[in-house]
Amino acid sequence: MRREFPRKVKAAAIARAAGHCERCKAALKAGGAEVDHILEDALGGEPVLANAQVLCGPCHKEKTAERIVKIRKADRARDKASGAIRPAGKIRSAPFAKPDKPSRPSRQSLPPKLIYASRTTP
């Protein structure tokens, strides 16, 4: 769930910006300021003054478009790591060619080993 900035933090950020966009330095109309997270809430940003910036409408839309890609990528990585999403599956490709095995040389059999030798008495 998204955490919004408290009213006091918004007022302090707007006062700090002094009526200008903190990204492009354009003059802002009264009520045209948008307080935005520097580090997005979805990526761990806190709703504090140090993480707040005042933007004009066009800068806010541009920044949001850039950040949505990173937020979604982080969401997918978190879901894969937690097991919420299974891997897509095995990569299907042509198998590797099996190397030709050299034929084994034929083994010559040894003569049988005598375990018991008969004794002959003279």
pLDDT at 122 over 60: no
Q: Which domains does the chain have, with CATH numbers?
A: 7-82 (1.10.30)
- pLDDT, tens digit (0-9, with 9 covering 90-100), for 46-65: 999 999 999 999 999 998 88
pLDDT on residue 120: 63
For residues 38-73, one letter each, b for 16 or more C-beta atoms within 10 angstroms of the residue's C-beta and e for the rest, the string is: eebbeeebebebebbbbbbeebbeebeeebeeeeee
> Which tokens go with 45?
């940003």
- pLDDT, tens digit (0-9, with 9 covering 90-100), for 8-24: 999 999 999 999 999 99
For the question of whether the overall pTM of this predicted structure is more than 0.85, the answer is no
With pLDDT > 90 as the criterion, what percentage of the chain qualifies? 33
Please tell me the number of Cα atoms within 13 Å of 60 on its side-chain side.
Answer: 14
